[in-house]
Amino acid sequence: MSRPRLLFYCQHSVGMGHLVRSLALVDALSVHFEVVLLSGGAVPREVTVPAGVRLVPLPPLGHDGGYALVSRDPRWTVEEAARLRIARVLDELRTVRPSVVILELYPFGRRKFAFELLPLLEASRALPQRPIVLSSVRDILVSSRRDQARHDEQASVVANRWLDGVLVHADPRFARLEESFTPRTPLTVPVHYTGFVGRRPAGRAGPSRSLATERRVCVSAGGGLVGGDLFATAVHAAPALLGDLGLHTTIVAGPFLPAGERDQLEQAVTATPGCRLVRFVPQLAQEIAASTVSVSQCGYNTALDILASGTPAVVVPYAAGREDEQLRRARRLEALGAVTVLEADALTAPALVDAVRRALRARTARTELCLDGARRTADLVASMAAADTSIGAGGR
């Protein structure tokens, strides 16, 4: 008997966090479903798609510094990419005929991608057997937009009209949806807390041999697109980290660090004793676990790597433009005793060295938060699909 089919839409626009979480989710979901992953951002060649998941890359779009859409492929303009994407999304929906459709973040974010997501929702409802439609969201939403009240209101109206549920990938003891989502119209669709979705450890791959034999600080910034300031500061701090604390510095640049910044960083690292640069590691969680101290931003996935490892950690939350979710997450983790926070506007080499020193002195607290969200999500969605006898019979 064939398994039910599931269509999962993911759009990562700046970093890799949304893609990494989505890959962990589709990996777990593939135990119960035939999974097709629609990926709307550029997929680094180093990323491995889980076995049993079919990846459908869309012409990649992203955001620039002003949150305008940009094409990540020079073959297409934004307008050309959008037309191709709509056609491909709808073609996959009609070919797959899924029992479940999961939209990563929409309508609680990804407003600029409504041009393809609203047609997807409308076409889903028109299928002979209408799928369950769910939204997959992280622990904390951005809540500092200039038009935040209007954004939340529109999101609630769209959710109530089109969704059958919201999957919040958090432990409700840490964060609840209503803390960062406050529409005037109440959300009426069910909200399910799944626990946090961490990266699945790869049992066959330990820390890189070249990185596992010394006391070190592991510096990372997700995909690296907005990590340049942190990396440059880490290079300046490396001599003091080595001389004062006996710690070498390893910088994991990430696949999205712009080429010009990477070239400058390579030159600076080459000239700095006790410092090395790695473009990409397949298991960042294991590198953090094998390090003496982690220095990073405070995206969802890295925060979970820190929690899972118990490694002393300094976080420098990304807070440019309208972004506030990393700082809010960092402060909550700080209150749990899990991290030492250094805000981006206070980032200097001496401040970073001092923060590392404080992180080493602090007793890292082990939390009791649920970190098994991928499996719990898969089991929950499978139960929903099994119980949904109303599909195609006029229900929902």
Question: CA 107 to CA 10: how far, in whole Å?
Answer: 12
Confidence of residue 396 (pLDDT cuts 50, 70, 90): very low
**Mean pLDDT confidence for 79-94:** 97
In this predicted structure, what is the pLDDT of residue 145?
A: 81
Q: Which long-range contacts (CB under 8 A, 24 or more apart) does 103-106 make?
A: 103/9, 103/133, 103/134, 103/135, 103/136, 104/8, 104/9, 104/10, 104/11, 104/18, 104/21, 104/22, 104/135, 104/136, 104/137, 105/11, 105/18, 105/135, 105/136, 105/137, 105/138, 106/9, 106/135
In this predicted structure, what is the pLDDT of residue 298?
A: 95
Please say if the pLDDT value at position 143 is more than 70: yes
Q: Which domains does the chain have, with CATH numbers?
A: 5-198+372-387 (3.40.50.11930), 209-361 (3.40.50.2000)
Confidence of residue 68 (pLDDT cuts 50, 70, 90): confident
Look at the block and give the residue holding tokens 């500092």: 144
Confidence of residue 1 (pLDDT cuts 50, 70, 90): low
**Mean pLDDT confidence for 66-87:** 93
Please say if the pLDDT value at position 133 is more than 90: yes
In this predicted structure, what is the pLDDT of residue 200?
A: 58
Give me the percent of the chain exceeding a pLDDT of 70.
92
Confidence of residue 121 (pLDDT cuts 50, 70, 90): very high
In this predicted structure, what is the pLDDT of residue 367?
A: 77
Confidence of residue 394 (pLDDT cuts 50, 70, 90): very low
Please say if the pLDDT value at position 212 is more than 70: no
Confidence of residue 204 (pLDDT cuts 50, 70, 90): very low
**Mean pLDDT confidence for 346-353:** 98
Please say if the pLDDT value at position 9 is more than 70: yes
The more confident residue out of 17 and 109 is 109
Looking at every residue in the chain, the average pLDDT score rounds to 91
Please say if the pLDDT value at position 214 is more than 80: no
In this predicted structure, what is the pLDDT of residue 187?
A: 96
User: What digits encode the pLDDT tens for the residues 22-42?
Assistant: 999 999 999 999 999 999 988
In this predicted structure, what is the pLDDT of residue 13?
A: 75
User: What digits encode the pLDDT tens for the residues 275-332?
Assistant: 999 998 888 899 999 999 999 999 999 999 999 888 999 999 998 766 789 999 999 9
Confidence of residue 225 (pLDDT cuts 50, 70, 90): confident
CA 10 to chain centre: 10
Please say if the pLDDT value at position 211 is more than 60: no
Cβ atoms of 333 and 302 within 8 Å: the answer is no
**Mean pLDDT confidence for 101-124:** 96
Confidence of residue 45 (pLDDT cuts 50, 70, 90): confident
The residues facing 276 across adjacent strands are 250
In this predicted structure, what is the pLDDT of residue 321?
A: 67
Give me the percent of the chain exceeding a pLDDT of 90.
77
